[in-house]
Structure 1
Amino acid sequence: KTSSFDLLLLSSICEKVANTRKTFGIYKKGEENFPQMTSDQKNGESFPVKEDHKKDNAPGPGLTFYVSLSKQYFWKLLVAIKTLFFTLWDFLCKIFLKLLAWVQGHDPSRQPLEPIPNATPQSHPVQNIVLIGRTGDGKSATGNSIAREKVFITRTHATEVTQTCQTFRVVTPEGPILNLIDTPGLLDMSVAPDIISKEILRCLTLAEGGLHAVILVISAKTQLSQEENMIFRTLEVLFGSKIFDYVIIVFSGGDVFEDDDVTLKEYLDDSPDFIKRFLTLCGQRKTLFDNKTKDDVKKAKQVHELLNLMDLVKKQNSDKPYDTYEMYLNMKEENEKHKKDEELQALMRELHQANQQMLKAIEEMKENDRRKKEQEELESKRRSEEQFEELLKTNQHNFKEMEEVMEKTIKKATEAQEEHFEIRLMGMVDRLDQMERTLARMHGNN
């Protein structure tokens, strides 16, 4: 379709051509040079200068001129289209960046991965699924396999693994809407109790309406030991024995089983007795996950098996989730009590620290006074020594000057005495000469 801008531009071109035909003078036949342009004083437009030709019947502008003129306005049209294109492109880029910023700032945990036609909360209720286990056993990777995309941070993709509870809402093709809750290493023996209490309280807050299933992830890449036994006991202490009715054990590391051609049953047959006892408490609800597989069919199959186990948990518990409200209140009360105790201990520590700082300040003041006195004494001693050295230098200088004056005085006195002695000696010589002459005359008279 032709836009109004194109029509306006074409109309302008036609008008320019018509005005040019009326304004141009006569040209020689076959002349290809573009005519000399002059400026219109009224509208500022440029037109060719009229030329006076000798022949009145000379032909008008040729085809070459109109082709050149068409090319000129054709390139102007291209420039206008190019400007319009880049303006529109810049506008679309700005809209895209704003949309991208909105998507990144939106909470992904509240959005399903795939829409369900005619889905309602009644037809597809949300099921709270919590992932627990030790750090490095594959909780986050298992959550990513269930979600069918990388939504949780794993150890292989970041320098830091899960540090706090994370949630992500997933719409499965089978229908259930899963509210996946990835927890930090709550079952790690190295985690401080206050952190465990805080994160459990956060986990219960995220699981509004109760827990529909608890997925305990255990790595099958290592041999089962007493550490796993401590995990089971810790789980019972944290949530109570009723939690076992909702636990599903997921053994991660299925790629190792495939490489070694070992089945999960063979692996569990050689496991310790406490594993078998715990599986009995959980109703033998277990499955194997390969979080590294690239086979879409295998991915869908293992997720489907897990969803079947969730349905089994739902049926065995009469469609009632694990009630976390009472546990939440108890944990909250205990957490508040612990928080008050911590605040009191923090206040006592602050008072003790303030007292220690005051004593330290007093000791520093005493030490500063002592150092100041020592420094003043050293400074006074240094000034006395400098004054003595200066006086000594002055005396030495004066003594040297006196020596020089005395030497000069003695030298002058000696020179004066020598000069006086020479004068007296010369006088005595003169008198002796006179006496000799007198004696000679007296002797001659005789």
Structure 2
Amino acid sequence: MSSTTHFGPSSSTLERDARRIHDDKPVSPGSIAIGVIIGRMSEFFDFFVFGLASVLVFPKLVFPFAPDALTATLYSFAIFSLAFIARPVGSIVFMTVDRWYGRGTKLTIALFVLGGSTASIAFLPGYDVIGVWSIYLLALFRLGQGFALGGAWDGLASLLALNAPENRRGWYAMIPQLGAPIGFALASTLFGYFVANLSSEDFLSWGWRYPFFVAFAINVVALFARLRLVMTREFGTLLEQNELSATPIPEVIRVHGRDILIGAFVPLASFAMFHLVTIFPLGWMNLFGDQPIGTFLAVQVVGAAVGILGIIVSGLLADRIGRRGQLAVCAIIIAIFSFIGPMLLAGGNSGQDAFVIIGFGVLGLSFGQAAGSVSSRFGRAYRYTGAALTSDLSWLIGAGFAPLVALSLSSSFGLPFVGYYLLSGAACTLLALAFNEKLKARDA
């Protein structure tokens, strides 16, 4: 029995009607690109606001009972990791919502949960006020962020890629990735402003809460930008051709389980690097450095700008040497950086600044082509769901625990162990690329 019997017109029916209304208004690739960037920027802004607060706020607000600042930061990073565990669960639940009620309903629910979870953190009382419930609530809201992000997968990046000319695939693939450094730069700018202009007492009392309020407003803007594209004729056509349909997850795993696993390891070098140049160095500097936090956040904003340039360059290079070649070269560069990076971090203020700026440049080159690197192996009907599951697994393995592991290793055994951790990610990427190439040759 159809959903319309019990609930009236379904979201899917309403979406088809909206597309008919917009039949005379075709969307340009530029509009798709802007919508994709806005969507990704809002998601990363939410996550980076939490990540920065995991260093600057939560150790003192939520874990004041910890024996020292290092232990409190490790506790905070453990909460940070919860979102990446919840993300695959969100994908599973919201794929079902997508099939039953349509992409518009799915996105609306997911982004309001994401924005609501983030904004709720702004009202979080500290441990001194409500005791252990402060920890429980922070963990719940963080799980809500990850759960919602799993549902925020909209297929717009796939729409952009499918509209790309054959010789410009690398260029179009890098466009969604621009949202990450933009989101980080906005979050760092906001935190940097309040850190620089408020006393420590005022910042910990109320100043840190404002970026979490801003996150909800950004999510509302992003929701309307993405819904506008979901209602386009191009999206509807690809959906009807099964290019962007939600397929039951057990079926996707049965048909493409091997491709999901390989695809999760292909971008591991880039994803391991992701939090090692954003959240981890801020935590290390806050604990062991002597540079003012506001100044270091400004350096990270400069690093994000370098990362944007690196992502753009990655698109140009990938169209010349291929996406696989681009990822392999960048994995080798990351392996080299794994030996240089720890020495920079140990080199005082100038070395720490160089670590961030150079690291962001390397990250941009790699991250620009990291998404969907093996999505071409998914059958047409499985591409949308398969790409979502692959992305969830990649973030969980590569980035979810990176700040926690890196800080634990470096504080216990020294900074070189951060490099070893990064080197393992580069090795996984190179092995996954080689294995994927063998499978392609065997299946050809």
Is the structural similarity TM-score above 0.5?
A: no
- Bigger fraction of residues in strand: 1
Larger radius of gyration: 1
> What TM-score bracket applies, with the shorter chain setting the length?
under 0.3
Question: Relative contact order, CA 8 A, sep 6+: which one is greater?
Answer: 2
